[in-house]
Amino acid sequence: MFDTTFNHTTQINLGEEVSDQIVLQILHDFGMVIHFNPDCKGFQPAQNQPKGIPVPEGAVTYDCEDALTFVPKKLWNGGVWYSAIFSQEPNGCDIIIKAPGGFTSTNKWRLQMDREGRKCVTTASDAKCSKTFAGFVKKFLENSHATQQSRFKDLLSARTAQAASRPGVPRRRSSWG
């Protein structure tokens, strides 16, 4: 009754030289994806499953902490803990966020082709929150997408350059952050 829903989608166009394998290695690593959020202070495997949200089969649940950089330190100098349900998908990943105050969002990162036939990565977020915070959350979501996609693009460029400079050398999988 006092909740509102909204969505936001962004897209990064990729060059043909970008390997699908490198993109999917990044999107299949929760540690990398969660750290695209500059406010992420850390994460750990969840002790409990979040209430009110079904966990898809094969998904992993994490407890994550974000800094609340938008709140003045004299009001709150801590962070916020929330649940993140991470699912690897054949062409990307899904992350469902359940945070305090009734905030829930479903975020889908996808490697796909756009309408013009170009390779791209899209990030689509469907969010639900209190009407009281809707304006702020919408603006934060837009800014967050821009930052996350910029950080994804930087990591992808570094990984693509690394792969081009060392063809045939096996790659070690690690978390970025």
Q: Compute CA distances 140 → 47, 68, 94, 106, 145, whole Å.
A: 28, 11, 20, 15, 9
Q: Are strands 103-113 and 119-130 parallel, antiparallel or unpaired?
A: antiparallel
- Which residues on neighbouring strands pair with residue 60, listed in sequence order? 86
Q: Given this model, what pLDDT does residue 146 score?
A: 87
The whole model's pTM is what?
0.84
Assess whether pLDDT exceeds 90 at residue 122: yes
How confident is the model over 146-168, as pLDDT tens digits? 899 999 999 999 999 888 886 65
Domains, the chain, with CATH or none? 3-163 (3.30.530.20)
> In a 3-state reduction of DSSP, which class is residue 43?
strand
Instruction: Mention every residue, 6+ apart, whose C-beta is less than 8 A from residue 63.
Output: 43, 44, 45, 46, 47, 81, 82, 83, 84
pLDDT of 74: 59
pLDDT tens for each residue of 8-49: 899 999 998 899 999 999 999 999 999 998 889 999 999 999
Average pLDDT, the chain: 86
